[in-house]
Amino acid sequence: MYITGIGKTKFGILRQGLPELCYEAMQKALKDANASIEDIEAIFVSNFLAGSAQSQLHINSLIASLLPGIDIPIIRIETACASSGAALHQAIISLSKYKNVMVLGAEKMSGVGMKEMTSCIAEAGDRMLDQKEGVIFPASYALIAQQHMLRYGTTVDDLALISLKAHKNANLNELAHFAYKTVTRDMINNSPIVSTPLRLFDCSPISDGAAALIISREKKDGRSIKILASALRTGTISLAQRKDITSFPAAKAAAEEAYAQAGMTPDKIDIAEVHDCFTIAELVAIEDLGFCALGESKGWIRQGKTSLTGQLPINTGGGLKANGHPIGATGASQVCEIVTQLRREAGARQVKKADIGLTHNVGGVGGTVAVHIFRRE
> Residues 90-119: pLDDT tens digits?
999 999 999 999 999 999 999 998 888 888
For residues 96 and 140, the answer to whether their CB atoms sit within 8 Å is no
From the list 81, 120, 203, 277, the catalytic residue is 81
Angle at 124 between CA 201 and CA 212, to 5 degrees: 75
Q: Is 22 a catalytic residue?
A: no
Cα distances from 17 to residues 167, 213, 283, in angstroms, run 26, 20, 34
- Residue 202's CB: how many other CB atoms inside 10 A? 28
Q: What is the mean pLDDT of residues 334-345?
A: 98
**pLDDT greater than 90 at residue 120:** no
From the list 325, 336, 360, 372, the catalytic residue is 325
pLDDT given for residue 348 in this prediction: 96
Beta carbons within 8 Å of 223's beta carbon, 6+ residues apart = 4, 343
Burial of residue 284, with CB atoms counted within 10 A of its CB: 0-12 exposed, 13-18 middle, 19 or more buried: buried
Burial of residue 310, with CB atoms counted within 10 A of its CB: 0-12 exposed, 13-18 middle, 19 or more buried: middle
Say how far apart CA 65 and CA 45 lie, in whole Å. Answer: 14
Q: Look up residue 205 and give its DSSP letter.
A: P
pLDDT given for residue 240 in this prediction: 85
pLDDT given for residue 249 in this prediction: 97
H/E element, 44: strand 42-46
Q: What is the mean pLDDT of residues 216-236?
A: 96
Q: What is the mean pLDDT of residues 310-328?
A: 98
For residues 241 and 252, the answer to whether their CB atoms sit within 8 Å is no
Split at pLDDT 50, 70, 90, the class of 126 is confident
Split at pLDDT 50, 70, 90, the class of 46 is very high
Q: What is the mean pLDDT of residues 347-375?
A: 97
Say how far apart CA 171 and CA 90 lie, in whole Å. Answer: 33
* CATH, domain range 2-112+207-216: 3.40.47.10
Split at pLDDT 50, 70, 90, the class of 125 is confident
Beta carbons within 8 Å of 116's beta carbon, 6+ residues apart = 53
pLDDT given for residue 270 in this prediction: 98
> Residues 264-311: pLDDT tens digits?
999 999 999 999 999 999 999 999 999 999 999 999 999 999 999 999
Residue type at 15 in one-letter notation: R
In the chain, % of residues over pLDDT 90 = 90
**pLDDT greater than 90 at residue 7:** yes
pLDDT given for residue 239 in this prediction: 86
Q: What does pLDDT average to over the chain?
A: 96
> Residues 244-257: pLDDT tens digits?
999 999 999 999 99
Sign of the torsion formed by the C-alpha atoms of 274, 277, 278 and 281: negative
**318 Cα distance to chain centroid:** 11
> Residues 155-191: pLDDT tens digits?
999 999 999 999 999 999 999 999 999 999 999 999 9
> Residues 16-38: pLDDT tens digits?
999 999 999 999 999 999 999 99
- Residue 218's CB: how many other CB atoms inside 10 A? 11
pLDDT given for residue 114 in this prediction: 86
Beta strands in 161-301 (DSSP E): 193-195, 198-199, 209-216, 225-234, 271-273
Q: What is the mean pLDDT of residues 49-73?
A: 94
Angle at 324 between CA 318 and CA 325, to 5 degrees: 125
Q: Is 372 a catalytic residue?
A: no
Domain ranges of the chain: 2-112+207-216
Instruction: Kindly report the length of the chain.
Output: 377
For residues 203 and 320, the answer to whether their CB atoms sit within 8 Å is no
